[in-house]
Amino acid sequence: MTNEILLLLSGGILLMMTGVYMLILYRNLLRLIIGVEIVSKGVTLFFLAVGVYRQDIGFIQSLLVTFIIVETVLAAIMLALAVRAQKIYRSLDIRNLSKLRG
């Protein structure tokens, strides 16, 4: 493995660990959304490193474009839910969201 691949792998794993740390530690909805986004950026770097290692750049590029589109839609939906929760409960604490009834 070259240094670039190791750098991409370690950066991706570090981002994923940071995002999981945020998901476990915080109770603020916006910080959780940021944690999910950080995890997804780490997965993107990890996929990129695997594609460079396997020298299959075309397949990885198409996979990453699809992943980025899905990630953007997910972020938009999560932010819309956060805005709605702020309007209803005047707080972004996830403990208040346990009172939701569907």
HSE-CB at 37 with a 13 A cutoff on CA atoms is 15
Q: pLDDT digit string (tens) for 39-48?
A: 999 999 999 9
How many angstroms separate the CA atoms of 41 and 20, rounded?
12
How many angstroms separate the CA atoms of 88 and 82, rounded?
10
Q: Return the pLDDT at 101.
A: 67
Q: pLDDT digit string (tens) for 10-29?
A: 999 999 999 999 999 999 99
Q: Return the pLDDT at 100.
A: 65
Q: What domains, with CATH codes, occur in the chain?
A: 3-99 (1.10.287.3510)
Q: Return the pLDDT at 102.
A: 60
The count of residues in the chain is 102
The pTM of the whole model exceeds 0.85: yes
Long-range Cβ pairs for the range 11-14 (8 Å, 24+): 11/42, 11/45, 12/42, 12/43, 12/44, 12/45, 12/46, 12/48, 12/49, 13/42, 13/46, 14/42
Low pLDDT (below 70) residues in the chain? 99-102
